[in-house]
Amino acid sequence: MSRPLRAVLVCGGRFHDFDYARIELLKHLAEDARVRTRVLDDWGRTDAWKSCDFLVSYTCDLRPSAEQAEALASFVEDGGRWFALHGTNSILEFDGAKVECPRLAPRFMQTLGSQFLAHPPIAPYRVTVSDPAHPLVKGISDFEATDELYLSEFHGPVTTLLETRFRGKTPGFDPPEWNDDAARPVFYLHPVGRGAVLYLTLGHCRGHYDMRPLMDFYPTVERGSWELPVYHELLRRGLDWAKSRSA
């Protein structure tokens, strides 16, 4: 008889429709009857990492304290697996119309393997498969996503599974323009000690009331890559990867 698998889902922060993302991720987690999921909306329950088999996060500008970042790092270093989604690697500060991404949580970003710095206005872009033989993307074809195209800095080794290209302006962010033509990882693996982080930058979603206090009513409901069947396939594969250490 197989034992239950203990998952922790951290879903919360700013400027996204976390209710929508939470429900969709719980649906995926519930596809495996072995998985028992504990849902949190911040990083405060550091005891949770000690008792879970794997961690999933969908956050934006959710900043851990130094103690919380250390607990997360220890979880992965000790063999844990963390499937991190979309804005988990973001810290955002607003100065008028300008957005800055200060480096205030270096231990946290080193564990994740990257820190978000900017994105251009949401528009369709091509996502290409970097490593077609890797099990996480084997059989996946290149596709088009209408999502936030993440421009990040990276920490430590990463194995890029999906990527895109971008050269152009990122209005409101610092830096406001990216002129190099480097590959931009969209889906990557980052080893940390005996464990690893799997990061997928796709997955933007926003509803009418998710830009408060900057805006009382956001005019457009955005679902980004959540509307693509391939995104849900990537989520399933990512969750299978996260579960496989303890299965």
Task: Give pLDDT tens digits for 112-137.
Answer: 999 999 999 999 999 999 999 999 99
Assign 3-class secondary structure to the chain: CCCCEEEEEEEEECCCCHHHHHHHHHHHHHCCCCEEEEEECCCCCCHHHHCCCEEEEEEECCCCCHHHHHHHHHHHHCCCEEEEEHHHHCCCEEECCEEECCCCCHHHHHHHCEEEEECCCCEEEEEEECCCCCCCCCCCCCEEEEECCCEEEECCCCEEEEEEECCEECCCECCCEECCCCEEEEEEEEEECCEEEEEECCCCCECCCCCCCCCCCCCCCECHHHHCHHHHHHHHHHHHHHHHCCC
pLDDT of residue 96: 77
Would you give per-residue pLDDT tens digits along the chain (247 residues)? 578 999 999 999 999 999 999 999 999 999 999 999 999 999 999 999 989 999 999 999 999 999 999 999 999 999 999 999 999 999 999 887 799 999 999 999 999 999 999 999 999 999 999 999 999 999 999 999 999 999 999 999 999 999 999 999 999 998 899 999 899 999 999 999 999 999 999 999 999 999 999 999 999 999 999 999 999 999 999 999 999 975 4
Task: Residue 21: count other Cβ atoms within 10 Å of its Cβ.
Answer: 22
pLDDT of residue 77: 97
Strands 93-95 and 54-60: unpaired
pLDDT of residue 1: 57
With tokens 């528009």, the residue in question is: 123
pLDDT of residue 247: 45
Q: Which residues pair with 151 in a beta bridge?
A: 118
Two tokens, residue 189: 């693996």
pLDDT of residue 220: 96
| CA proximity to 85, closest of 60, 50, 51, 108 | 60
Domain locations in the chain? Answer: 5-244
| CA proximity to 46, closest of 93, 106, 116, 108 | 108
pLDDT of residue 81: 98
pLDDT of residue 46: 95
Task: From residue 243, give the alpha-carbon distance in Å to each of 32, 45, 50, 212, 236.
Answer: 10, 21, 16, 36, 11
pLDDT of residue 97: 79
pTM greater than the 0.75 cutoff: yes
Domain range 5-244, CATH class: alpha beta
Two tokens, residue 14: 């700013």
